Each structure stands twice: as C-alpha cells, then as structure tokens.
Chains A and B, each alone.
Chain A
Amino acid sequence: MTTHSDAYADSRETTEGRVYSVTGGDWDSLATEIGATKEERVVVNMGPQHPSTHGVLRIILELEGETVTEVRCGIGYLHTGIEKNTEYRSWTQGVTFVTRMDYLAPIFNETAYCLAVEKLLGITDDIPERASVIRVLMMELNRISSHMVALGTGALELGALSPMIFAFRDRELVLDLFENISGLRMNMAYIRPGGVAQDIPAGAIQKIRETVDQLRINFKDNEKLLVGNTIWMKRTQNIGYLDLAGCTTLGITGPVLRSTGLPWDLRKTQPYCGYENYDFDVITTDSADVYGRFLIRMQELEQSLRIVEQACDKLEKLAGQPVMVADKKIAWPSQLSVGGDGMGNSLEHIREIMGESMESLIHHFKLVTEGFRVPAGQAYVAVESPRGETGVHLVSDGGTRPYRVHFREPSFNNLQSTSAMCEGSMIADVIGAIASIDPVMGGVDR
C-alpha cells in the first residue's frame, strides 16, 4: 500500500481505487496528482459537512471532469426517531415532537398532525372558526419565514451574499411575531388538537399589520437584487430541469411541481382550515428550472401577505370567540400567559386549580397526565407546506397514545429528484438544483 502524505490531502489505496481525504489547502497539487492517474472516473463526496449542501446532506457525485455523470444522496445524519418517540407520549405531547421535524416549517407539521388527530376524533367540524383563522395566519407567516430561508440560503450557496442578509432581516420580523403570539420563535407547539394553545395577545393584530406593510417594502430589496439579474439568471435558468412527467412519477409537490406550470396547491384543490374563504392566487411558471422555482417563491410571499391581511380582518370580526373546542374531554385545560420570565402557566389558572376548585384540579390532572382517548382507526391528512405536501398518516388503537405516526415529508420525497435534475449537468449547478428543492434535513431524516 502506498501512502501519499500531504497535510491537507491524504490518500490511500482501497479496493475501489485511490481515496483522497481533502480538508483544504492547495488544490493545485491535488489536481495535478489526480490528473496524473489513469482513472477517468472520479467519485467525490460532497458533505455531510459542507457549507452549500443545505444541511447535513451527503451528496455522492461521480464526475467526468466537471460534468456530473451520477448523483446519489446519502441521508440519515439527522435521524432522531421522532416518529418512534411519539408512540410513547400522549396525543397532545406529540405536537411538541412533530414540530421539530421540518424545523423551518414547524406550524405546518403541527397543523397537519392536529388535523389528523381531529379527523380521528371526528371533531373536524367542531373546531372554532377563530382557531382555524389563527392557524391559517400562523401558517402563512411561517410560509414567509421558510421561503426567506430558501431564498436567502439558496442565493448564498450560489455566491450571492446580500440576498441572504435581506432575507434573514425579514425573517426576523416574522419570528418576532411568532414570539409575540406563541412565546417561541421556532418549534412553538402552538397548534394543539382541538384548536390553538392560546388566543393571540392584545395588540398582536396591529403588530402583524405593521409588519406586513414593512415586509412589502422589504421584499423589494431582494426583488431588485435578483429578479432579472443577469448573473443570477445565468446561474439558475435551464438548471435543475424537471418536467411534469418527472414530477408526477417522483411524487414531487410544492414549488418544484408548480414550476412545471401545473397549478397544484392543496390550499386550492383540497382546502383545509377554511382556505376556500381566502382570496389568493396559485403562482406557477412553466420553465421547470431553478429560476422558475425562485420566482414562484418570491411571488408566493406576496400571496401569503394577502392571506395574512385577510386573516387579520377575520380575527377582528371574530374577537372574543373561543380558540379551543368546547368539548372539555379534549380541550387542554391549562391556560398560558406571559410572566416576568417569559411564557408560562397563567397565574389565574394556577389559583383556580390550587386554591378554588377541587374539580378543576382533578380535571386538569386527568387530562394532562392521562390525556384523551382517540377511537381506533387511521387517517391521512395533507397540508401544503412551503416545500410541498406534508402528509400525516396516523393510526390509533383507541388508547391515549398514537399507535403510529408517520410523516410524509415533502423534503424527503423531493430530494429523490436530485439525480434526475443533476445528472449530466456541471458540478456547480448541483448546488443550485438542490437549493431549488429546498430540502430541510430535519424533515428528511425525522
């Protein structure tokens, strides 16, 4: 065995050929050495720790020069067994787990899960309208914050730094709203089976309206930077091409599917949470490339703002109405409020159960420790998340815990299209193609 020693690029012989472990340093010496070997086929491992793979994603590239002949994805580095864990917790506790799957779109995970629990309970029609409107409001705000990361990091990975700064600036504004409403900026566990954890605080609607106006102005910065920008278009047009036939056979949904010209958006085609009562457009392009998907995300921001405004109007009309189902056997008994050290149990509720009403205490204790039972059966519920169809398959055996929770994650499914999009292209375009799928590894690996 011959070993080439180089501080940055060690090499060793294996049965598969010579393997180099490159950690930085002078690329010229490495390129010269690889050029001297008789191997024409080079296999490069990109990731799992690579700044432009959109997370802990390992991409295995087979190269001929700079042309990619084969791509395979290696995933699983972020697998945390969330689905298994939920089987050992009550139905309500499940929300706290599933919100951590696709961590850029927590509200969508929560909503899909809660809609499925409600379907199993048969209380879909009993959810108060105010709760559904708050869900829509939160989902659309979340779509904005998620798309901001998709656009910002996508541009960053292709070498455009400024869009990332603007995108994260705008995302902060949305996260501030989340903090104001739910107490948390990410992984809120705010949507609960039967409604939402608590009503939006006083003054929140005013804040949301101000933020919406501010975002409308702010979005122009990225628009001016990228839309029609020659360099950006050269990096994204006709890159990562995937047509409608490719999308349907690979089960691709979301912006990637809409970039083929098909206006498939579950908010329109199979509405939930009352989306049929909102006025908005489904954005499509017909270029089926990275640029088309970028344009869709840019324009979906405006559509989300429109829905947020309509949701605010509805909330003003529905002021004072409940945000949790009336059925006390399901509705979470505890109330939250903001104290000196952040969000916690409301002192009024504590006084009631600890000092005033024995029955309230028993009720609280039973529901919080035991939870509620869900009739046996199974259900599948899908919502349109920023990345496509987030589907939840829930199975209940009639107990206080889920029998099986399965998330059909759009990131997991869509990442399969990497091979179809990238084989035959240049290595630099792999980055753009994967960024346009916008996979979130927390969702891919669960």
Chain B
Amino acid sequence: MSEDKGSFGVHGTGDTSGYSGLVRTQITPGSSERPFGGYFDDLADDLERAFPAFSDAIEKIVVDRGELTLYVKRTHLFETAMALRNTETLRFEMCMGVNGVHYPEETGRELHAVYSLLSLTHNRRIRLEVAVPDADPHLPSLVEVWGGINWHERESYDMFGIIFDGHPGLTRILMPDDWQGHPQRKDYPLGGIPIEYKGATTPPPSERRSYR
C-alpha cells in the first residue's frame, strides 16, 4: 500500500494546480487465501507434496488477475525451481526468463527478480518472485535448472545489478562492458537534453511536468 499526494508530484509549495491536497491510496494485491481457484490449488498441493520445505520456502502466495505468484525466499529458490521442474505433476520444463523490478521504497527488499515459468506438459503458467536487499543483491543462479535463463540473468545483472551466484559468465550483455551503473534502476536517471525548437525549449522527458 502506498500513498500519492497532489496531481503533479510536486513537493513543497510549488504546486499551483489546486490539487495539492489530493491524496490517493494505492493498494497492491496482498497475500491470497485458499481456495485460489482454477488449477492453482492443485498446483500448490502438488508443490507442497513434492517439496518438504515448502512452508519455509514460500513467503506468500498471491493470486491476482488470474495469475499465480509464489514469493520465494532466496535461500530456497534453487530447490523450489528444481521441484517445479522435476515433479511429474508440475513439470515446468520451460522458464521464459527472469527480469528485475526495482522498488526503492521497500527497505530490505528493494530488488525483485521475477521468473515466469511455463509447463508444456500441463499447459500452465506460474510466476516466481524473489526479493533481495540492495545492499546484498545475491541470488542463486538457475542456469543449471533452465539453461535458457542464462542471458536473462545477465540482462537482470546488467540492468539492475542483481548478482546471480553460480552463473557461468555473469557479464553485461546489452550495455558496454565498461558501463557504470545499472540503467533500469529507479535511481538511475533517464537522461536527455532540452530541445529548442522555434524559440521554445522542451525539457527532457524525465523533467517535464507530468501527472502522477
């Protein structure tokens, strides 16, 4: 849950829009209770049976907009992934990749790695989400589980600075090798220069007045 104030994101007395008193509350979908609906209950049961440390490994289960997200502790990520891939009733034999999301406000869980899995056998999808602190952005690499995640992990390292321990060659993939910083993080500026055209100057996109 978070709160937005005003209409333009201006802080202090600069907001002359008349909307500075406006307060908007955003509710992020929270932990879901059983029954989850659809195949999600079966899936959770099967995972629980196949994976003894299930209750330790899973922080919470969120069912939202018809999608199941398992929030996994990073210490148990590798075992969870193995169980999801190898158990006959689960068989998530494909990982469609991992990508990072940066939440600077979530102290101690700033960087999230989001994996989307696909089971060809059962025609199912689920999502794994792991949160790590910015100060210690280490995660076990899943290249041994799904080889195709190799480049995706490199991209998440490149863009967010998440370090995947055990990756066979964790180097930058999209940015040049000597690049400083991780561009997709929220504290990394978009950049850009003001453009002058016919006497008027347009500031770069990140500095324009905009609505929240």
Task: Please report A residues at the B interface, Cβ cutoff 8 Å.
Answer: 75-76, 79, 81, 83-85, 87-89, 119-120, 122, 248-252, 262, 264, 269-270, 369-371, 376-380, 382, 389, 391, 393, 395, 397-401, 403-404, 406, 408, 412-413, 415-416, 445-446
Binds A, one of B26-34, B49-57, B73-81: B26-34
Interface residues on B, range: 35 or more
List residues 11-70 of chain B with CB under 8 A from any CB of chain A.
Answer: 24, 26-29, 64-67, 69
Q: Which residues of B contact A (CB under 8 A)?
A: 2, 4, 24, 26-29, 64-67, 69, 93-97, 99, 101-102, 114, 116, 118, 120, 123, 125, 127, 146-152, 155, 172-176, 183-184, 190, 205-206, 210-212
Residues of the B chain whose Cβ atoms lie less than 8 Å from the Cβ of A79: 174-175
B173 lies within 8 A of A76 (CB): yes
A-B contact count (CB 8 A): 122
- Chain A residues touching B, majority SS: mixed
The answer to whether B67 touches A397 (Cβ under 8 A) is: no
A405 → chain B closest CB, angstroms: 10
The answer for the CA separation of A75 and B151 in the assembled complex, in Å, is: 10
Q: A119-B65, A400-B212 are in contact. Are A251 and B148 (CB under 8 A)?
A: yes
Q: List the A residue with the shortest CB-CB distance to B207.
A: A88
- Interchain CB contact (< 8 A) of B96 among A84, A251, A270, A376: A251
From A83, A87, A270, A397, give the contact of B123 (CB < 8 A): A270
Also in contact, A445 and B151, with CB within 8 A (given A84-B183, A251-B95, A376-B26): no
Given contacts A84-B190, A378-B114, 20 further A-B contacts (CB under 8 A): A76-B173, A83-B184, A84-B184, A119-B66, A249-B147, A251-B148, A251-B149, A377-B64, A377-B65, A378-B64, A379-B65, A379-B67, A380-B67, A398-B24, A399-B26, A400-B210, A400-B212, A404-B99, A413-B97, A413-B151
A111 CB, min distance to chain B CBs, angstroms: 17
Q: Do residues A85 and B205 form an inter-chain contact, with CB atoms below 8 A?
A: yes
Main secondary structure of the interface of B (DSSP, over half): mixed
Q: Across the two chains, which residue of chain A brings its CB closest to B29?
A: A377
If A379-B65, A404-B101 touch, does A75 touch B190 (CB 8 Å cutoff)? Answer: no
